[in-house]
Amino acid sequence: MLATTMTTKIKDSPFHNAFVDIYGEEPTALSNAPGRVNLIGEFTDYNDGFVLPCALQYSTRILFNKRDDSIVNVRSTQYAGEKDSFDISADIVPGDSQWGNYIRAVAFAFKREDHNLSGFDLLIDSDVPQGSGLSSSAALEVAIGGMFNHACQLGLSEAQIAVLGQAAENDFINCQCGVMDQMISACGVQGHAMLLDCESLETVAVLIPEDLAIVIVNSNYPRKLVDSEYNQRRIDCEQAALKMGVSSLRQADLSKLDSNKGILSANEYKRAHHVISENQRVLDAVEALKNNDMDTLRQLMTASHQSLKYDFEVTVPATDGLVEICAATLQNRGAVRMTGGGFGGAIVCLCRTDDIESITQAVGSQYEKRFNLRANIYVCSAGKGLTVSNIK
């Protein structure tokens, strides 16, 4: 169960005042869920494999009041001129507000599991950048799920809220994401990365050494036709597992893959090769992180990037270029790879805090010249997962 009472400093904040201005009364509670970065384990989640994400200090917060009726009123400080409103007792269908649909999606997923939901007045605020690979959508879904769970006394675990958030994104938003983003947003432990077994949903908190900095560089490469490519990768993986006679690629190893090479298409073989080798890299990275072993982390993250480039084929010249720039700057003092859904998006660097400045300078002086794009740099620390607290 989630912590339900905590004192907060939210009162008198501009966010709190904005709620009072909109709804004419004080909010009673706050739900808070972070964005995330994946350190290693890419495209393994929907293959029942291992991932190693980390919650960030950036988070999505929702101030709310439960209503006596069934109307849900939705506002976001990021979309000040727009609001959404729907009746939660009726069938949940998509509305006109693009972002409002994420709240409807979570309501849809909870209702489908027969959870009894009431109306709400709510206001969203977030410092998770949207569409930058830090998973603002999962942070929003988990924060909304946390609100429903708390106010409607559903008694759900964090992991159950995560799974419902994923269902919302899969079945209402029509994005076939795995469960990683919602799990780390719901279950992250402050100062730790999280080894997640996507088959059992078991988690292990892995301490991030204090002198290790997490730097995320978003390429701002315009993503095009991404959904069909993303979904095709998923189909290739499922086909490879089917042809090898296993329920998911988690059940296969490299020798099984090689003995089945003849019956797989070239793409199915390459996609499966990435997933199977990446699962092992995640487990090795957990040990390397525990030992603060930068050499091994660098080898694993470099191998992960190469595998994503040549086997899974989801990198683009802009993200390959950012990895090159940062790796050349960090030399043996850091580890770099692309992170997230690919086809653009972000890269992640693990390095010592002294090197943050040199990465920032190198990206600033080289990236725009080479790719005619400006990158955003986020220096991150490991935040904590979902909290829901009453405001006293």
Write out the catalytic residue numbers. 181
Among 32, 137, 166, 315, binds Mg ion (CB under 5 A): 137
* Residue 85 binds ligand ADP (CB under 6 A): no
286: helix, strand or coil:
helix
State how far the Cα of 118 lies from the Cα of 78, in Å rounded to an integer.
25
Kindly state the smallest distance separating residue 114's Cβ from ligand ADP, in Å: 26
Q: Does 102 bind ligand ADP (CB under 6 A)?
A: yes
Site string for ligand ADP, 62-81 (x = CB under 6 A): --------------x-xx--
Q: In 3D, which of 360, 296, 368 has the Cα closest to residue 326?
A: 360
| Residue nearer to ligand ADP on the CB measure, 141 or 268 | 141
- Residue 307, interface with ligand ADP (CB under 6 A)? no
Rounded CA separation 121/133 (Å): 29
Rg of the chain taking only CA atoms, in angstroms: 21
Q: With CB under 6 A as the contact rule, which of the stretches 64-72, 111-119, 126-134, 283-291 interacts with ligand ADP?
A: 126-134
CA separation for the pair 84, 148 (Å, rounded): 17
Closest distance to Mg ion from the beta carbon of 257 (Å): 30
Q: Which is nearer to ligand ADP, 132 or 307 (CB)?
A: 132
Task: Report the candidate in 54, 10, 65 with the shortest Cα–Cα distance to residue 32.
Answer: 10
Contact 129, 25 (CB under 8 A): no
For residue 271 the two structure tokens come to 């996609």
By CB under 6 A, tell whether 135 contacts ligand ADP.
yes
- Nearest-approach distance from CB 246 to Mg ion, in angstroms: 29
* DSSP conformation letters of 7-66: --S-TTSHHHHHHHHHHSS---EEEEEEEEEEEE--S-GGGT-EEEEEEEEEEEEEEEEE
# residues contacting ligand ADP (CB under 6 A): 17
**Partner in contact with 317, chosen from Mg ion, ligand ADP, none, beta carbon below 5 to 8 Å by kind:** none
Q: Which of 145, 154, 151, 215 is nearest to 185 (CA)?
A: 145
Of the pair 84, 158, the CB lying nearest ligand ADP is at 84
Q: What is the DSSP string of 314-342?
A: ---HHHHHHHHHHHHHHGGGEEEEEESS-
The residue with its CB nearest to Mg ion is: 137
Residue 76 binds Mg ion (CB under 5 A): no
**124 interface partner picked from Mg ion, ligand ADP, none, CB below 5 to 8 A per type:** ligand ADP
Residues 5-64 that bind ligand ADP (CB under 6 A): 60
Position 126 contacts ligand ADP (CB under 6 A): yes
Q: Does residue number 170 form part of the binding site for ligand ADP (CB under 6 A)?
A: no
Question: Applying CB under 6 A, does 339 fall inside the site for ligand ADP?
Answer: no
| 203 near ligand ADP (CB under 6 A) | no
How many angstroms separate the CA atoms of 257 and 244, rounded?
A: 8
Convert 217-239 to b/e letters by CB count within 10 Å (16 or more is b). bbbbbebeebeeebeebbebbbb
Interface with ligand ADP, residue 216, by CB under 6 A: no
For ligand ADP, the closer of residues 92 and 140 by Cβ is 140
Tokens 């977030």, located at residue: 126
Question: Which one of 14, 131, 317, 364 is in contact with ligand ADP (CB under 6 A)?
Answer: 131
| 12 burial type by CB count under 10 A (0-12 exposed, 13-18 middle, 19+ buried) | exposed
Residues at the interface with ligand ADP (CB under 6 A) = 60, 76, 78-79, 98-99, 102, 124, 126, 130-131, 133-137, 140
Residues at the interface with Mg ion (CB under 5 A) = 135, 137
